A and B are shown apart, each in its own frame.
Chain A
Amino acid sequence: MQPRTLYDKLWDSHLVEAYEDGSALIYIDRHIAHEVTTPQAFEGLHLAGRKLWRTATTVAVSDHNVPTKDVHDVRDPVAKLQLETLARNCREHKITHFDVGDIRQGIVHVTGPEQGWSLPGMTIVCGDSHTATNGALGAWAFGIGTSEVEHVMATQCLVLRKAKNMRIEVNGRLPLGVTAKDLILAIIGRIGTAGATGHTMEYVGEAISALSMEERLTVCNMSIEAGGRAGLIAVDETTLRYIEGRPYAPKGALWTRAADAWRELRSDPGAAFDTTVIFDAASILPQITWGTSPEMVLPVTGNVPNPAQETDETRRIGLENALKYMALKPGTPLTDIAIDKVFIGSCTNSRIEDLRAAAAVIRGRQLAKNIKLALVVPGSGLIKRQAEQEGLDKIFQAAGFEWREPGCSMCLGMNPDQLEFGERCASTSNRNFEGRQGHGGRTHLVSPAMAAAAGIAGHFVDVRGF
Chain B
Amino acid sequence: MDAFTTLTGVVVPIDRSNVDTDAIIPKQFLKSINRAGFGPNLFDEWRYLDKGAPDKPNDGRPVNPDFVLNQPRYRHAEILLARENFGCGSSREHAPWALVDFGIRAIIAPSFADIFYGNAAKNGLLLVTLSAAEVDQFFADCKATAGYQLTVDLAAQRVVSPNGESFSFEYSAGLKHRMLNGLDDIGITLQRAEVIRDYEIRRQVEAPWLFSDV
Taking Cβ atoms with an 8 Å cutoff, the residues of A that contact B are 13, 16-17, 19-23, 25, 27, 29, 36-37, 39-40, 43, 48, 50, 53-54, 56-57, 64-65, 76, 78-79, 81-82, 85, 96, 119, 121-122, 127-129, 142-148, 150-151, 154-157, 159, 161, 163, 193-194, 197-198, 224, 227, 229, 248, 250, 254-255, 257-258, 261, 293, 314-315, 317-318, 321, 412-414, 421, 431, 433-436, 439-440
Extra inter-chain contacts (16) besides given A194-B111, A435-B45, A439-B51, CB under 8 Å: A13-B207, A19-B174, A29-B210, A37-B92, A37-B93, A43-B35, A57-B213, A82-B32, A85-B33, A145-B115, A157-B189, A194-B84, A254-B208, A318-B18, A421-B51, A436-B27
B186 touches A435 (CB 8 A): no
> Which residue of A37, A53, A194, A255 is within 8 Å of B113 (Cβ)?
A194
A439 touches B45 (CB 8 A): yes
- In the assembled complex, which residues on chain A have CB atoms less than 8 Å from the CB atom of B196? 16, 25, 27, 53, 155-157
> Which residue of A21, A121, A145 is within 8 Å of B118 (Cβ)?
A145
B115 touches A78 (CB 8 A): no
Interface presence of B104 (CB below 8 A)? no
A144 touches B22 (CB 8 A): no
Known: A37-B92, A129-B90. A413 touches B186 (CB 8 A): no
A193 touches B93 (CB 8 A): no
> Which residue of A56, A78, A435 is within 8 Å of B55 (Cβ)?
A78
A147 touches B119 (CB 8 A): yes
Known: A23-B172, A145-B122, A147-B119. A155 touches B213 (CB 8 A): no
Known: A37-B93, A39-B33. A435 touches B185 (CB 8 A): no
Known: A79-B31, A156-B196, A257-B208. A151 touches B185 (CB 8 A): yes
Known: A27-B203, A40-B35. A193 touches B88 (CB 8 A): yes
A314 touches B17 (CB 8 A): yes
- In the assembled complex, which residues on chain B have CB atoms less than 8 Å from the CB atom of A23? 172, 174-175
The 5 closest A-B pairs by CB, nearest first: A56-B213, A145-B119, A145-B93, A39-B33, A21-B173
B89 touches A129 (CB 8 A): yes
Smallest Cβ-Cβ distance to A295: which chain B residue: B18
A185 to chain B, nearest CB (A): 16
A122 to B15, CA, bound (A): 40
B174 touches A248 (CB 8 A): no
B172 touches A21 (CB 8 A): yes
A317 touches B33 (CB 8 A): no
B2 to chain A, nearest CB (A): 14
Known: A129-B90, A314-B83. A147 touches B185 (CB 8 A): yes
Known: A17-B192, A414-B30. A434 touches B207 (CB 8 A): no
The count of chain B contact residues (Cβ–Cβ below 8 Å) is 61
> Which residue of B85, B89, B174 is within 8 Å of A197 (Cβ)?
B85
A112 to B206, CA, bound (A): 23
A16 touches B207 (CB 8 A): no
A412 touches B27 (CB 8 A): yes
Residue from the set B28, B172, B174, B175 with the largest chain A CB neighbour count within 10 Å: B28
Taken residue by residue from 96 to 122, chain B's Cβ proximity to chain A (1 for < 8 Å, 0 otherwise) reads as 100000000000000101110011001
B214 touches A147 (CB 8 A): no
Interface presence of B54 (CB below 8 A)? yes
- In the assembled complex, which residues on chain A have CB atoms less than 8 Å from the CB atom of B28? 414
Interface residues of B in 130-188 (CB under 8 A from A): 172-175, 185-186
